[in-house]
Structure 1
């Protein structure tokens, strides 16, 4: 259950001026003309898929239609009066849609899909770890892990281009995703700089805001944090308090870590020794508002020296311009063509942005 007490992220460089949203739809005509119908179509698509996601729920389609109608009505009102809904952003509209679904008794509509994809991904976990462990060179090992992490982020049912691929291609996995995304050099490619930093000294503690279930978490995130753990870094994985699309929830995370520790001694030892923990972040949508974090997470953040924001929702739609007191990685595949072009990139371009902690003058 989500806690009421929310705190602003202690790692933000300037808490007073922080704004989560990268695009303010209220003051961007091109953006609002694109995103209103785009988000409405995303919500509508859920209606056609809901019976497959909830096969034993005879009222699922009816309730999904009701929820979509509420979202549609809001979009229509905003078209005529954008000032009606403030702040008007991709984040707040997605949160409204998720809240509407919860009010229509969809506690976790994507649960079966997440379970299916995560089970399939765990069947490939050992092979992925063996592949990584076979690479002796420090640089090449971390390059492979980074490629796997960003490629895993492709598995996002909230992105139409990806949903179409996943529905049409049964055999689409991490290997295919690594071929689908932009090849290096990436659109924003700080990987070399980050690996050089990593080679200088290990981080004490990393806090990672995770994204999607399935391939993203199991074959992207877990191998990445496993290597951090092997290098002496404590890791805090943080997931949504409430369900949103196929994102990992805190309840999911606890279950996935129990499965992972049965398959991996590095993960198991880290959990036993309290070097790897899973915790909720207080969020209820697929984006990230760092002004509203769970208090326990903020306590854990106090001793962190690395922050990782994974996925378009957490690192592009929100927080792309946010600055932090510690080293920060912002990782995402640009799965939306309009957004990619708006940033000067192409669809499936990769952002691997490394922002070092600012130097403190004495």
Structure 2
């Protein structure tokens, strides 16, 4: 598979590109925190494994086996951090996902994602009607952007969020909007984005999407739909392999088919190939732009905008990535340690639009 991976042609300077934001090799404090944080995340999966995989009677035992594999790696890394190269949040998460797949968890969160997609689609017609009823274009784009950011709260890889989701079954998009930071955001170039989108629509954008459920259905789809209304070609790119509750390529196509039954704009865009689903070649919840699917790279050559959504793709990786074309990074900082290391607070918002200078 690696032979089919290519460097994203949209990177400004591939030779200087480093996907990883946090240095776990040289910063002992960062390494100690993230080892503990990720160990806790992997261990917490054990108690959920049986519920998430009701058809697998050995789910809990397999989850325990995977945890011990992960813990063994962490123990070794404490003594010699160079044995995993590169050592980063990205590569540790990829290691965990590989272990899950190797031990018969083909998609550990499949049932949960299906449940959340179904729930989100019950609200999808109301959500797009709500957006269409906003006559002021600036306010409309603000509402759409807030929807993407609030949708990104539905991330089972973030402890601060899982605590909320487990405590409240009523937590939905509106509750998430009330939880995230109010404007002005930590990084807030929304007004610049609105001006650009109103004056010069894009020809084609690549959107690297994140979670299933509310995130994709109520956040990303309305965002993409608004771009489609401007005749922008939209390529939605999702994981090739399962990772946490991230939407996979297969699920993305299923969701688009379902959305097309609710929305004429999406239906027409799919039929005319103005809206396309592409896999990104990744097998973890982060994004290494030097290892993209070859077919996606071909399409990237035509894009004049790249959008990165979610902590895994826009914060843990690619926070400092520079592009040859305009870029937009959207995420909510759901980890307090990471937020403070960036000079922000937990649930602060990154909405960073960077036009090519």
TM-score (norm 2): 0.99
Structure 1 equivalent of residue 289 of structure 2: 290
Pair 1:347-2:328 in alignment:
no
**Aligned CA distance change for structure 1 residues 357 and 350 (closer, same or farther; 3 Å):** same
2:2–2:291 Cα contact (<8 Å) kept: no
Match of 1:187 in 2: 186
Deviation at 1:200, TM superposition (A): 1.3
SS at match of 1:68: helix
Q: Deviations over 1:173-200 (max 9, x none)?
A: 0000000000000000010011111111
Answering whether residue 142 of structure 2 is matched by residue 143 of structure 1, we say yes
* 8 Å CA contact retained: 1:3, 1:294: no
**1:304 and 1:325 mapped to 2: Cα distance?**
10
User: How many Å apart are 1:134 and its aligned residue?
Assistant: 0.3
Structure 1 runs of 4+ with >3 Å offset: none
Q: Which moved more, 1:240-249 or 1:2-11?
A: 2-11
- CA shift digits 1:112-162 (9 cap, x unpaired): 000001100000001101110000111010010001011100000000010
For residues 4 and 208 of structure 1, the distance between their equivalents in structure 2, rounded to whole angstroms, comes to: 24
RMSD of equivalent CA atoms: 0.8
User: CA offsets per residue over residues 289-340 of structure 1, 9 Å max, x none?
Assistant: 0000001100111110110000000000000001001110011000000000
Q: 1:233 to 1:293 in 2, by over 3 A?
A: same
C-alpha contact (below 8 Å) 2:333/2:348 kept by paired residues? yes
Q: Indicate the residue corresponding to 2:200 in structure 1.
A: 201
Calculate the TM-score normalised by the size of structure 1: 0.98
**Aligned residue for 1:104?**
103
C-alpha deviation, 1:81, in angstroms: 1.3
Look up the match of 1:164. Answer: 163
- What is the match of residue 178 of structure 1? 177
Q: Which residue of 1 aligns with 2:127?
A: 128
- How far apart in 2 are the matches of 1:82 and 1:239? 30
Unaligned stretches of 5+ in structure 1? none
Q: Deviations over 1:330-362 (max 9, x none)?
A: 11000000000000000000000111113xxxx
Aligned residues: 357
Cα shift at 1:3: 7.2
The answer to which of 2-11 and 122-131 deviates more is 2-11
1:58 aligns with 2:78: no
**Residue correspondence of structure 1 range 1-362 to structure 2 within 5 A:** 4-358=3-357
Conservation of the 8 A alpha-carbon contact between 1:209 and 1:308: yes
How many angstroms does 1:82 deviate by?
Answer: 1.1
